[in-house]
Amino acid sequence: MVEVPCSGRVEPALLLKALNDGADGVMVAGCLEGDCHFLRGNVRARRRVERLQRFLPEMGVEPGRVEMFNLSAAMGTRFAEIVTQMTERLRELGPWRRGPVRDEEVGA
């Protein structure tokens, strides 16, 4: 787990690094849309994740391995549900072990 003050600080290169370092998938959790403490950071993060998802197949990575979720700090039960869903999705996809992906491939 990597904590940042705002999901808007998450760069695609960080997500690719997690995959390269052995993660089977990556979740970005941000504030609810319209409720970002840093104004539009969660919108910026969503755009980055969606852009990365479009490029992942070109690198041989299933887009479902990277996902963005919006929720508030008070939504602990929902967070647990999301983690469970993502875990199940990654189990279905199987382990990610296809070699390195480079951030320059997605313009990060």
Question: Using CA atoms, how far apart are residues 46 and 40, in angstroms rounded to an integer?
Answer: 10
**What are the helix (H) ranges across 1-108?**
12-20, 41-55, 76-93
Q: Output the pTM of the full model.
A: 0.82
Q: Angle, to 10 degrees, between the axis of helix 41-55 and the axis of helix 12-20?
A: 50
The string of pLDDT tens digits covering residues 21-41 is 989 999 999 999 888 878 788
Name every residue whose Cβ is closer than 8 Å to that of residue 103 and which is 6 or more positions away in sequence. 12, 13, 16, 17
Question: What is the pLDDT at residue 100?
Answer: 58
The string of pLDDT tens digits covering residues 36-90 is 878 788 999 999 999 999 999 998 899 999 999 999 989 999 999 999 999 999 9
Question: Using CA atoms, how far apart are residues 95 and 39, in angstroms rounded to an integer?
Answer: 36
| Both tokens assigned to 46 | 């969503």
